A and B are shown apart, each in its own frame.
Chain A
């Protein structure tokens, strides 16, 4: 406690009171107007670093979400191409079964052989399916068509894998290595679908009933089994992406909640403290107006 109070002291302390109240008011006002309680890292240093972390996580999660939707579209495209190929292989299988019966005329056999040749061309076309300008069955050589039109059946792509990151440290392969099914055609004699269908075509035109009924039928069945495995794999990967998508959504919402509670102003609280700050500012102003005015002068009569 000070012994003696002077006018300068009371006016200075009134001014300081007014200024500190105004400072508090302006801080609350900034919080209310920006909607953030961390406007500078110094407002809450730990909170600020959490905000940096959370924003980075949220950006990663939104990348995962877009990777997942891109991967899903890629797999859907691959799935429908594989279905087309399956349908065509099944058509070829029916033609083989008919040819193996030996009841067909030579003309019928020849037209069946022509149909198989058409199927070969269509299957190669299906293998050249693109998604967003990329060949999906060329491995990583996405700008190269995996099979050329015409008699060359050599696979043009590679066996590289294309992956999508769908979560922290979690990647899935979204491309299917179709060349293991289709092979490199009869020139290679690798028993792939193209080789098998070309053999069937020549067996049909030659009326080689015994070969049709035995090896050809077996080979096409083997290829159909491989194809079925590929489709199942695409389906399973699609399911995994769907699961990952809902996991990402859950993480996004929990990160967002945490970010909001760290960074955002509680409006009700801020508005309340704004009112309190305003009241104390008004009180300080009023006290200032009163205190500084009063002095002994007011009570001394002029003529004394």
Chain B
């Protein structure tokens, strides 16, 4: 049985082609070593179908002759399980980050840092003014200082309350800001729909590539990056169809955020319409169980003190203000005073009695001219309002510390998961360089094979051929 003379040439050529593809892939890997979301690509090679060589005579057996190498596919190295794990951790990180940021803003609003004068020092000043007034009750300047400082104190209560939960539009409160951020992220043009639309359109591109027999590695990398980005906003779960398109379920929304199309058709994106249970929930709402940034924002935009810690701070502040109003006015009337000092019953409404402040402004000292009243009010220092305010400061500090600690810890978890994923999918330059050498040598060897075959055929043609001439 004869072996066709040029079989070896074809075999050597398949080797050259395979090494060429491997070199190109390695080059591409090296180029993308720092591309975010890029997965290392590998060339899958397999031996070509061998040629059967029947037995040539007695004692010989039929055998198979290798005919080189086939380039089967170029695939990306990716562990879907690690993707799922990464996204779950990333959702928690998004939630922790948003919570820590908002609570830290509330702490800043409180103004009890080492460099600012918050309500605590204004309260001290308020009592100190009453003490000075007790020493000299008829002094107009002492009365004016008291009224001015008390007005500042009342305004600090008003301002803090409006910074936390106020409803005015010019300078939105933290609660309003959270609601606004939620709307901005879920609105058209927001991160959620941008990611969803990107995934939807990549879905179609991928299914088209697969339909035409290609492996769309880069497109899949891009889609995975978009899913990673989406996971910051809330829980993401995906199901991949036979056509390569993924259906993305987001949080506890009833409809899938991205519904895969059939075949190579474009799927549909279902927007998140609002917050479950709110007046503007719409047909496809989510609740705080969604987690991620959006889940945190749902919690932080609630006006229910038992749900939203910031609404809780505002409620505690109302108690402090109301206690202050009640205690001061009660002390005044018990000591024989006739004019209430404060009006209002909450942090947003507390104010110095305008009758009193305008009387003092016009120079009348009669209303506040009482040693007994001033002594009685000054004695309130360290009472219920002071104590509950100190407790509020501790509460806010505690919450911020806890939120920051969880954020730091979660960041470490995300980094570790990211490392695991990178360990699998990342490009190692050392490895690529090693591959490069072996592929280069392989290419050289294949070329050498071709050269040798050429020389062998040359011998055959020139020696054997000339003999016959």
Contacts and interface: CB of A to CB of B under 8 A. Distances in A.
B397 A42 contact: yes
A34 B116 CA distance: 12
B382 A6 contact: no
A126 interface: no
A155 interface: no
A175 B291 CA distance: 68
Interface string B370-385: 1110010011011000
Interface residues of A, number: 58
Interface stretch (A77-85, A165-173, A195-203): A165-173
A2 B421 CA distance: 10
A6 to B, nearest CB: 4
B114 A56 contact: no
Given A52-B389, A52-B390, A66-B132, A42 B104 contact: yes
Given A5-B428, A8-B422, A162-B371, A39 B113 contact: yes
Interface stretch (B118-126, B298-306, B353-361): B118-126
Contacts of B34: 8
B241 to A, nearest CB: 31
B70 interface: no
B107 A42 contact: yes
A295 B135 contact: no
Given A8-B427, A48-B394, A62-B128, A2 B420 contact: yes
Nearest to A42: B400
A57 B132 contact: no
Interface string A43-83: 11110110011011101101110110011000000000000
Contact of B397 (A5, A40, A66, A71): A40
Contacts of B404: 42
25 contacts: A3-B423, A7-B428, A8-B34, A8-B427, A12-B418, A13-B419, A39-B115, A40-B114, A41-B112, A42-B401, A42-B404, A55-B121, A56-B386, A59-B121, A59-B381, A60-B124, A60-B127, A62-B128, A133-B139, A134-B136, A140-B372, A165-B131, A165-B378, A171-B379, A296-B434
Nearest to A50: B390
A52 B423 contact: no
A295 B404 CA distance: 37
Nearest to B112: A41
Contacts of B125: 59
Of residues B107, B127, B426, which shows the largest number of chain A Cβ atoms within 10 Å of its Cβ?
B426
B448 to A, nearest CB: 17
Contacts of A124: none
Nearest to B392: A49
A41 B396 contact: yes
Nearest to A23: B408
Closest 6 CB pairs of A and B: A41-B397, A45-B397, A59-B124, A6-B426, A42-B400, A63-B131
B83 to A, nearest CB: 17
B429 A297 contact: yes
B63 to A, nearest CB: 38
A67 B110 contact: no
B160 to A, nearest CB: 14
A16 interface: yes
B424 interface: yes
B397 A70 contact: no
Contacts of B418: 12
Given A41-B107, A41-B393, A56-B386, A296 B429 contact: yes
Interface string A1-26: 01111111100110010000000000
B433 A295 contact: yes
A229 B410 CA distance: 76
A133 B365 CA distance: 14
Interface in B14-37: 33-34
Given A56-B120, A66-B132, A134-B138, A40 B400 contact: yes
B33 A163 contact: no
Contacts of A67: 131, 134-135
Q: At the interface, is chain B mostly helix, strand, loop or mixed? A: helix
Nearest to A53: B390
Contacts of A263: 114
A38 interface: yes
B463 interface: no
B435 to A, nearest CB: 11
Given A7-B429, A43-B401, A163-B371, 18 more contacts: A6-B33, A7-B427, A9-B422, A34-B114, A34-B115, A40-B113, A40-B114, A41-B107, A42-B404, A45-B394, A48-B112, A49-B391, A52-B120, A53-B390, A59-B381, A132-B136, A133-B138, A140-B370
A143 interface: yes
Interface in B419-447: 419-420, 422-424, 426-431, 433-434, 437, 440
A142 interface: yes
Contacts of B371: 140, 162-163
Given A41-B397, A42-B104, A45-B398, A56 B135 contact: no
A60 B381 contact: yes
B428 A4 contact: yes
A168 B135 CA distance: 16
Interface of B: 33-34, 104, 107, 110, 112-115, 120-121, 123-125, 127-128, 131-132, 134-139, 370-372, 375, 378-379, 381-382, 386-387, 389-391, 393-398, 400-401, 404, 415, 418-420, 422-424, 426-431, 433-434, 437, 440
B121 A66 contact: no
A304 interface: yes
Nearest to A41: B397
Nearest to A1: B423
A209 B135 CA distance: 49
A302 interface: no
A9 B120 contact: no
Contacts of B112: 41, 48, 52
B424 A4 contact: yes
Nearest to B411: A16
Given A16-B415, A52-B390, A300-B433, A165 B127 contact: no
Contacts of B132: 63, 66
A169 B135 contact: no
Contacts of A168: 382
Of residues A8, A52, A64, A140, which shows the largest number of chain B Cβ atoms within 10 Å of its Cβ?
A52
A44 to B, nearest CB: 7
Contacts of B139: 133
B375 to A, nearest CB: 5
Given A7-B428, A36-B114, A304 B135 contact: no
A60 B124 CA distance: 7
Contacts of A8: 33-34, 422, 426-427
Contacts of B136: 70, 132-134
